Amino acid sequence: MRVASLLPAATEWIVALGGAGDLVGRSHECDHPPEVQSLPVLTAATYPQADDARAIHNAVQERVQAGLSLYDVDLERLAALEPDLVLTQAQCEVCAASLSEIEADLRQHVPGVELFSMQPATMKAVLDTALRLGRTMNQAEAVMQYIATREQRLRQLHEAIGLERRTEPEALPSVVCIEWTDPLMVAGHWTPDVVRHGGGHALLTEPGAPSCRIAWDELAAADPDALFVMPCGFTLADTARNWEAFTSHPTWSTLRAVQADRVFVFDGNAYFNRPGPRLYRAIELVAQALHADALPVQEAAPWERQQGRPAPTSMHADAETPGSMVK
């Protein structure tokens, strides 16, 4: 089967299931694992690229409010690759090329092509979507084995931190997950589930709810035990460049998490923002941050998570993490 993936999470699932050889094209954002970067690139962003969180937000909103697409798809190049299956998404017009924008053009340029769209809102839905993708790829056994292995590791993690199904959320450390720094946004969708599996309780959101804007006053009122910073699409180096502007707000220094040095900064792009197989690693990173005393000593790599102000690092999430359940 010849597969063109326009979604990074879908690309990661395909490779995890042993289907790397089926991929014939990718989006410009499909960067993991490294071997996929040699594939033909089929998409490009249409808005100006920037390092500043506010500038990115303004550029995206300007396009959206004008009714313009955020991504271009090279349909001629896509058609020349003669894919049997094109993978896309119907969840977030900001994250990647969406099905609603490209379906008609795809069917015109690549007649008879099968379209597979991802739209999971919870961790369970992420896994259900992976199972559906596995069946579509004739890899049902591979995906079931992959998930079963990671779920076994997850049960061992839960046992180590004393997390049970009946554990009340209020008994767990409270967390606010910042998905964007300017304007301030909290992570929704599957992120509250990831935090729960890692032994925390996500505030200001619910499992499956969309990510949403909040005011600094709301963050102050929630005043969580820990603050997770995981901007969408940002590596730790990207977040480091925006750190001073983010933390200069007068409310910042009043937060309990800041005063107790319980601020953790993650590579959101790699581990939290994509509904892919590395969500299992995200759960481990959460557990290590919140329950370090209950787990074997295994520090997160500096490109995965840092505590407090992040230091730019030249290393990245494509490097292998010893002991991780995700490869």
Residue in the structure block whose two tokens are 């990831």: 194
Domain count within the chain: 2
pLDDT band for position 183 (cuts 50, 70, 90): very high
Instruction: Give the whole-angstrom CA distance, residue 247 versus residue 253.
Output: 8
Instruction: Give the whole-angstrom CA distance, residue 103 versus residue 141.
Output: 29
**Same domain assignment for residues 201 and 94:** no
Instruction: Give the whole-angstrom CA distance, residue 234 versus residue 93.
Output: 17
Q: Is there a domain that residue 245 lies in?
A: yes
User: What does pLDDT average to over the chain?
Assistant: 90
Which 8-state DSSP code applies to residue 24? E
Q: Is there a domain that residue 81 lies in?
A: yes
Measured CA to CA in angstroms, residue 276 lies from 10, 177, 258 at distances of 7, 18, 30
**Same domain assignment for residues 66 and 196:** no
Instruction: Give the whole-angstrom CA distance, residue 117 versus residue 98.
Output: 9
Query: Is the pLDDT reported for residue 298 higher than 90?
Result: no
Mean pLDDT to the nearest integer, 270-291: 97
pLDDT band for position 327 (cuts 50, 70, 90): very low
Q: Is there a domain that residue 192 lies in?
A: yes
**Same domain assignment for residues 289 and 223:** yes
**Same domain assignment for residues 188 and 259:** yes
Mean pLDDT to the nearest integer, 269-298: 93
- List the domain range (segments joined by +) for residue 13: 3-119
pLDDT band for position 59 (cuts 50, 70, 90): confident
**Same domain assignment for residues 101 and 202:** no
**Same domain assignment for residues 115 and 173:** no
SS3 263: strand
Query: Is the pLDDT reported for residue 48 higher than 50?
Result: yes
**Same domain assignment for residues 102 and 194:** no
**Same domain assignment for residues 104 and 182:** no
Confidence (pLDDT) at 92: 60
pTM: 0.92
The answer to whether the CB of 24 falls within 8 A of the CB of 39 is yes
**Same domain assignment for residues 219 and 289:** yes
CATH (domain of 109):
3.40.50.1980
Q: Is there a domain that residue 159 lies in?
A: no
Phi, psi of 162 (to 5 degrees): 75, 30
Instruction: Give the whole-angstrom CA distance, residue 11 versus residue 198.
Output: 25
Confidence (pLDDT) at 217: 98
Cα four-point dihedral sign 319, 323, 324, 327: positive
Q: Is there a domain that residue 153 lies in?
A: no
